[in-house]
Homo-oligomer: A and B are copies of this chain.
């Protein structure tokens, strides 16, 4: 189908989505989960084609692994959808209500965003995941997945659409853009007349391209150049495990730490211990001059290192004279994602919490907790690094807007 028709269908499906009750949505999600299990054979067959193409095209092992589906992964997809069906429905919730002196009664009600476009890269489970979250929040979704996973995505989308159709629900609640040329992605970003919000999920390059080219409002997700600042008043017994966790528990994720900032007063005591821990976890250390003096294996950091989201077994080290310098460094090089301070000094912690400009600011905890599930949202569509609309982990509530419903009795403005 051509892009324009996909967009028109999506817009036309909005009223039907608003009319669905919570019970209907939850029932549909459970049926979609069952449908995926039932269609598992077809999905795995499609996925095998993508995988073989990936191998032929020299895709690296990490990406091949993210692309690959098996029975267990399809079951996990289905289970994820079931979990979303059990979450609270945000739609129709009254956010507030008030009455004006002229008698107007004003209600602020949570409503779907409308048509949510999602542009993502090669993980096919995002297809099922994004559907569950947008559907539960009453939205219509148009998905543009990576061309590497196109056959898998078509199979998953078809399974979902068939289930919806069998329940008498508009299948256009989810549509996949099947064209794989780059032009269609660029054209998609210009469909402001039909698409209410665009959410890119993937590499920093993908997100930048969307921000640069879209005329649809975008929610930026995911780039994380996260810092851990070890203050002079830090409890080093907390610092070391937190740094190991934030740096090495999963290196390829946006809430992983990329840089250590250290107060110069504790460098002598702390850095050798830090370097030992990094060595044990095969992490390369790139340090500025003052900090490097206290380490044996660290190499020189360049200015460029401080602006880098490595997503690798590398950490940069920057020494500072005070917490203010640490805050300035973070506000200069950070991406507004997650930042942590290790300190037992409440005053220093409060300053850091107040002045670091990021979605999530931690005292004595790992940055790895920036996550919808860890926050207890029960789901996550991404982590916003912008300040408009939503900041940090985005669950169902963040996929909604609101409207004012105003009840009058003939009022006119004076």
List residues of A whose CB falls within 8 A of some B CB: 14-15, 18-19, 98, 100, 104, 106, 113-114, 192, 196-197, 211-212, 215, 217-219, 235, 237-238, 241-242, 244-246, 249, 327, 331, 353-355, 357-366, 368-369, 374-376, 386-389, 391-392, 401-413
Q: Which residues of B contact A375 (CB under 8 A)?
A: 100, 106, 404
Q: Is the CB of A15 within 8 A of B113?
A: no
A-B contacts, 20 of them at CB < 8 A, read A14-B357, A15-B355, A19-B355, A100-B376, A113-B387, A114-B357, A197-B388, A217-B388, A241-B410, A241-B412, A358-B403, A359-B404, A361-B406, A362-B406, A363-B406, A364-B409, A364-B410, A369-B413, A391-B401, A391-B404
Q: Is the CB of B361 within 8 A of A403?
A: yes
Cα-based distance from A106 to B365 in the complex (angstroms): 11
For the residues of A in contact with B, the DSSP-based class is mixed
Cα-based distance from A412 to B243 in the complex (angstroms): 9
Q: Which residues of B contact A98 (CB under 8 A)?
A: 376
Most chain B beta carbons < 10 A, residue from A218, A327, A355, A413:
A413
Most chain B beta carbons < 10 A, residue from A100, A369, A376, A402:
A369
The 9 A-B pairs of least Cβ separation, nearest first, read A365-B408, A245-B412, A387-B401, A238-B410, A368-B413, A389-B389, A217-B388, A365-B411, A364-B408
Partner of A242, one of B114, B242, B410: B410
Q: Which residues of B contact A331 (CB under 8 A)?
A: 14-15
Cα-based distance from A241 to B412 in the complex (angstroms): 7
Q: Is the CB of A192 within 8 A of B215?
A: no
Cα-based distance from A327 to B18 in the complex (angstroms): 13
Residue of B nearest to A363 (CB): B407
Q: Is the CB of B242 within 8 A of A388?
A: no
Residue of B nearest to A404 (CB): B360
Cα-based distance from A403 to B160 in the complex (angstroms): 36
Q: Is the CB of A387 within 8 A of B104?
A: no
Residue of B nearest to A327 (CB): B15
Q: Is the CB of A364 within 8 A of B407?
A: yes
Cα-based distance from A120 to B104 in the complex (angstroms): 31
Q: Is the CB of A217 within 8 A of B217?
A: yes
Q: Is the CB of B388 within 8 A of A389?
A: yes
Cα-based distance from A18 to B242 in the complex (angstroms): 28
Q: Which residues of B contact A14 (CB under 8 A)?
A: 331, 357
Q: Is the CB of B366 within 8 A of A412?
A: yes
With A242-B412, A412-B241 already in contact, the answer to whether A365 and B406 are too (CB < 8 A) is yes
Q: Is the CB of A413 within 8 A of B100?
A: no
Cα-based distance from A407 to B352 in the complex (angstroms): 12
Partner of A410, one of B113, B365, B368, B405: B365
Q: Which residues of B contact A238 (CB under 8 A)?
A: 409-410
- Shortest Cβ distance from A61 into chain B, in angstroms? 25
Partner of A215, one of B211, B369, B389, B413: B211
Q: Which residues of B contact A197 (CB under 8 A)?
A: 387-388
Q: Is the CB of B241 within 8 A of A366?
A: no
